[in-house]
Amino acid sequence: MNFKKIILITGGAGFIGSHVVRLFVNQYPDYRIINLDALTYAGNLENLKDVDRAPNYHFVKGDIRDAEMLDQLFQKYHFDGIIHLAAESHVDRSITDPMSFITTNIVGTVNLLNAARKLWQDHFSGKRFYHISTDEVYGSLGSEGFFTETTAYDPRSPYSASKASSDHLVRAYGHTYGLPVVLTNCSNNYGPNQFPEKLIPLAIHNIRNNKSIPVYGEGKNIRDWLYVVDHARAIDLVYHRGRNLATYNIGGHNELRNIDLIHTLCEIMDRKLNRAPGTSAKLITFVKDRLGHDLRYAIDASLIRQELGWKPGLQFKEGLEKTVDWYLNNEEWMTRITSGTYQQYYRQQYEKR
């Protein structure tokens, strides 16, 4: 088959990447989608079992830290576009092991930029390098204000510093070499297929198993939550219609203190598990705070709304119900993930808190 475009999606076996792959494979049968993923602890091909036989989808196992492999891959497939999501993504892991964040998030991104430059050789018409980033690069807000696209970078964890660094490098390649880059910085995603090291799936899993729900500090930190499919829709729009060299912030208009989110989740879980009201909330346990814990993130997403007409589709309550249903209906997915090395991670992360 002759494909209209060949697109490389990196990190497509992860949480957000799998939703992006699914959207592109289903929505664009005339695009060939190549999913490149190293299948780290966070990558799981089970996330894509509904699309893995599609004729326009192909999976390649590979590590973006391997520049030679990337050059060969780019020469083989002649990509028209790259949507780059592969990353080490968990703040707590970046605090215990910063180096893998430097090598994957920074060096890996530069390897991809170099491979794209070599392939495209200054012929950029119809080409696109799309870098997926995070609101954490902007640092931490007080009780007022929002992150806009012009907010100065102020990353405060090894994770956010590595993402900030990769953002700068992507923009530098855009300005210096004319590479057709576009970036988005998104707030906290939630939804199906998220690895249970992140707050929402971890809490669902623990409530389900009558284990304590670890809330860092006093639970007053605020995050702006967005349903993952809404993020994937935004990525589709930006890939096709975003301006070259532009940055768009993406957020849920949905700020919540962690403790309030957890209480809402406990209420939903009590109902779904036929437990007496208040049962799950008894599992809430305040534990030692995350080092350098950012207080508040909140996104001003007016640019992407005005330019591209994007806004979140799902209300948080509805999204959270859907998310809980997915985890309760996919217990095998969770069991497979949480057996083995997850136990070791969990002990290291939470035992001494």
DSSP symbols for 301-327: -HHHHHHH-----S-HHHHHHHHHHHH
Nearer to ligand DAU, 58 or 290 (CB): 290
Least distance in angstroms from the C-beta of 227 to ligand NAD: 11
Among 7, 15, 101, 232, binds ligand NAD (CB under 6 A): 15
- The one catalytic residue in 37, 88, 136, 294 is 136
- 199 forms part of the interface with ligand DAU (CB under 6 A): yes
* Interaction of residue 63 with ligand NAD, rule CB under 6 A: yes
Instruction: Tell me the three-class secondary structure of 183-252, residue by residue.
Output: EEEECEEECCCCCCCCHHHHHHHHHHCCCCEEEECCCCCEEEEEEHHHHHHHHHHHHHHCCCCCEEEECC
User: Are the C-beta atoms of residues 100 and 28 closer than 8 Å to each other?
Assistant: no
| Residue 186 φ/ψ, nearest 5 degrees | -110, 155
Under 8 Å between Cβ of 202 and 265:
no
- Distance in angstroms (rounded) separating the CA atoms of residues 92 and 349: 8
Stretch that binds ligand DAU, among 56-64, 87-95, 310-318, 336-344 (CB under 6 A): 87-95
For ligand NAD, the binding residues in 169-228 under the rule CB under 6 A are 186, 188-189, 195
- By a kind-dependent CB cut-off of 5 to 8 A, residue 223 interacts, out of ligand NAD, ligand DAU, none, with ligand DAU
Q: Minimum distance from CB of 122 to ligand NAD (Å)?
A: 27
Q: Where are the alpha helices (DSSP H) in 256-315?
A: 258-272, 302-308
In this structure, are residues 304 and 249 in contact, taking their beta carbons and an 8 Å threshold? yes
Of ligand NAD, ligand DAU, none, which one sits near residue 199, judging by CB under 5 to 8 A according to partner kind?
A: ligand DAU
Q: Is residue 214 a contact point for ligand DAU (CB under 6 A)?
A: yes
Alpha carbons 201 and 270: distance in angstroms, whole number: 16
Could you tell which of ligand NAD, ligand DAU, none binds residue 215, using a CB distance below 5 to 8 A set by kind?
ligand DAU
Binding part of the chain for ligand DAU, among 195-203, 274-282, 304-312, 334-342 by CB under 6 A, reads 195-203
Crossing angle (nearest 10°) for helices 316-329 and 258-272: 50
Told to check if 261 binds ligand NAD by CB under 6 A, we report no
Q: Does 87 bind ligand NAD (CB under 6 A)?
A: yes
Site for ligand DAU in 91-110 (CB under 6 A): 91
> What is the distance between the terminal CA atoms of the chain, rounded to a whole angstrom?
55
Q: Among the options 80, 88, 135, 236, which is catalytic?
A: 135
| Binder among 35, 47, 111, 134 for ligand DAU (CB under 6 A) | 134
Burial of 160 per CB tally in 10 Å (0-12, 13-18, 19+): buried
Q: Is 135 a catalytic residue?
A: yes
Does residue 290 touch ligand DAU according to CB under 6 A?
yes
Q: Does position 69 bind ligand NAD by CB under 6 A? A: no
Stretch that binds ligand DAU, among 23-31, 42-50, 133-141, 274-282 (CB under 6 A): 133-141
Rounded (10°) CA dihedral 133, 136, 141, 144: 30
Catalytic (active site) residue 159? yes
**By the criterion CB under 6 A, which residues form the site for ligand DAU?**
89-91, 134-136, 187-188, 198-199, 202, 214-216, 221, 223, 258, 290, 297
**Residue positions annotated with a catalytic role:** 135-136, 159
